[in-house]
Every structure is written in C-alpha cells, then in structure tokens.
Amino acid sequence: MTSLTRSRFLSCLAAGAAALAAPAAFAQQGYPDRPIKLIVPFAPGGATDILGRLLAAGLSDKLGQPVIVENRPGAGTVVAGGLVAKAPPDGYTLFLGASSTLTYNPAIRAQLPYDPLHSFTPLGMVADMGLVLVANNATPGKTLQELVALSKAEPDKFSYGSFGTGSSVHFGGEMLKTATGLKAMHVPFNGSSPSLTALMGGQVQLAVDTVVATTPLIKAGKIRAIATLGAQRLPLLPQVPTVAESGYPGFSADTWFPFLAPAGLPAPVRQKVEKALADVMADPAVRTRLVDVGLTPAWGPGSVVTERVERELPQMRAVAARSGIRVD
C-alpha cells in the first residue's frame, strides 16, 4: 500500500468512526427523548414504592419525559439488581436500590447476578429508613440496658423476630447483640406483618423492624418501643432514644436507598440525571412527604454511595461471618 493510499485509507477510517460516534453523541445531548423506566425492587404500596413514585414524578418534571415505575420485587432486591446490571447504560433504565442490594446481599450470597461496586453507576443517595427495637407489652425491662441485663440472667428466655434471614433488620439485630451483649435467639418470619403479629402474641419477646412497620402499633399501644438503631432520633418517634443514647455510644444501623443506573452510563447523561435528582431531593414538598411516610431525606451525590459501600460492605461481611448469616 502506497503512502497516499494509506493516507486515504486512514482518513476514510477516521471519517467512518466519526460517523458512527456522531449518533451516540447526539443521543446523549438529546437525552432523554423517550420515556424512562425506574426499577423499584419492592412490591407496590410500601414506603419504598412511595419513595420511587415521588422520585419518578419529580424526575419526569425535571427531565421532560415520563419516568415510569416498574416494580420488580424478589430475593431481597437481587431480581431487580440483576435486571438493571444487564440493561443498556443509556439512561433509560434507572434503579432505586437499597442497602441490601449493595452490602447485605454480597455479604451473604455466594452468587449474585451483579457486582456491588462495578455493575452500577451511582447517581445519588436519597433516603434512610430507621430501624426500631420493639418489645411485647408483657416483656419485662423498660430500657435497653434493663433488657440486656435480664437476657444475660436468663439467656434462653429471649428471642427476637425479623422479617427474614439476611434482611436489614436481621443484620441490625445481630449488630445490636454484639454491641450490647443482648442474649436473644433470632426467629425469621416471611415479612413484617407475621413478625410483629408473633411479637404481639408473645411468640417472640422482641423484634427489630422498620419505623414504617412499627410506628402504628407503637402509637396504638400494642407494642413498646425500646430504642431506635440509627444515629439520630426518628421524626415519627421523637420520644424513643437511640441505642447510642441508651448507653452504647457509637452504635448505628439503618437501611438506606441509593439511586443507580447500569455501569458505563455516559458522563453527559449521568450529570443530567444527577442534577435533576438533586433538584428533586431539594424540593421541600418531597422532603416533607418522605418524613411523613417514615423516611429520612439523605441526599448526597453518587460518590457518597460508593464511599458508603466501600466502608460498610466489609463490616457487613464481618457481621455475617460472626453471626453465621447465609442464604445459599
């Protein structure tokens, strides 16, 4: 091939590459030009679904295209996580994940259809949900320290319910046991309703569950709140002390919700979605609605999600190993 021919060949090759790249670049600049799908890994009707629909409505307004919620519950967010990880990274599939997606599941499952640090583009941290230690009304001990002392004196007398093995409340309960010395056997149930029904019926003496599930029963006088597990008191239960306030400084455990997209999301699309998401989370009406349903607004950019996963995943693996938490 002569130098002239080679030059023409390379020029044609470069022109062809530019022509192929142009539509992709144009598509990114014109994003979004069609409806967007938001995957929510829980069934309709709960607080997380409400969070997803609030974000979808706000993003629809900011981005100028409908954002349609698609509920994909199953296997503690594994089903939804695997679906999103395999989706094209074009900005038309978004994901309201959970701490279980990125920290609990990798700590207890040998096989996952995604990698918590490499399968997603983190776009922001949106909310926390508080966890609460609650007791049957007949359970002796009014404070956490009193319960711990009673459980140590009679270690076979106490058990605590959760809404499932490997769930956020199971991890919270085991972390609580380690931090306080509480002696209580874990009893998993298939959901909050059967767990709290068993608590009210005296089949278990204690339970760890979300503020959303427990608050109506606490306010109705059907169960007693002992302590909240997060770092701060909860707006729905301002009278209930935290575990840290109850004599165990530094303790904190809650569940949190990151906003994600498939890995490889182009920078212009990522920046546009992250800006729109930040604007939605800054809306006072959105923040008020989240507090009303038991969520705590916790906006932070995508880097906050990555930092939290890198910090908490080793901790959850240690909790799982120490407590023997496995689901496969």
**Binning pLDDT at 50, 70 and 90, where does residue 7 land?**
low
**Binning pLDDT at 50, 70 and 90, where does residue 19 land?**
very low
pLDDT at 204 > cutoff 90: yes
Closest CA to 40 of 77, 15, 8: 77
**Binning pLDDT at 50, 70 and 90, where does residue 46 land?**
confident
Q: 211, 226 in Cβ contact below 8 A? A: no
What is residue 20's predicted lDDT score, i.e. its pLDDT? Answer: 47
Q: Which CATH class is domain 35-129+255-323?
A: alpha beta
More confident residue, 327 or 59: 59
Q: What pLDDT, in 10s, does the model give residues 277-303?
A: 999 999 999 999 999 999 999 999 999
Average pLDDT over residues 150-157: 94
**Position 174, amino acid:** E
Q: 216, 132 in Cβ contact below 8 A? A: no
Measured distance CA(43)–CA(88) in Å, rounded? 24
**Binning pLDDT at 50, 70 and 90, where does residue 5 land?**
low
**Binning pLDDT at 50, 70 and 90, where does residue 21 land?**
very low
pLDDT at 81 > cutoff 50: yes
- Reported pTM: 0.88
**Binning pLDDT at 50, 70 and 90, where does residue 152 land?**
very high
pLDDT at 8 > cutoff 60: no
Beta-sheet strand order (sheet of 67-71)? 67-71, 36-40, 93-96, 255-262, 120-129, 295-301
Quick one: tokens of 146? 């009193």
Measured distance CA(143)–CA(149) in Å, rounded? 10
Q: 147, 116 in Cβ contact below 8 A? A: no
- The mean predicted confidence, pLDDT, of the chain is 92
**Position 159, amino acid:** S
Q: What pLDDT, in 10s, does the model give residues 104-116?
A: 999 999 899 999 9
What is residue 125's predicted lDDT score, i.e. its pLDDT? Answer: 98
- Homologous superfamily assigned to 131-228: Periplasmic binding protein-like II (3.40.190.10)
Q: Where are the domains of the chain?
A: 35-129+255-323, 131-228
**Binning pLDDT at 50, 70 and 90, where does residue 271 land?**
very high
Q: How far is CA 158 from CA 127, 170, 198, 221, 323, in A?
A: 32, 15, 13, 21, 17
> What angle (nearest 5°) sits at the alpha carbon of residue 36, between those of residues 33 and 40?
170
Measured distance CA(127)–CA(13) in Å, rounded? 48
**Binning pLDDT at 50, 70 and 90, where does residue 176 land?**
very high
Q: What pLDDT, in 10s, does the model give residues 231-265?
A: 999 999 999 999 999 999 999 999 999 999 999 99
Domains 35-129+255-323 and 131-228 share a fold: yes
Q: How far is CA 282 from CA 55, 234, 279, in A?
A: 11, 20, 5
Average pLDDT over residues 216-220: 97
On the question of a cis peptide bond just before residue 155, with omega within 30 degrees of 0, the verdict is no
Which residues, including other chains, have CB under 8 Å from residue 10's CB and lie 6 or more apart?
A: none
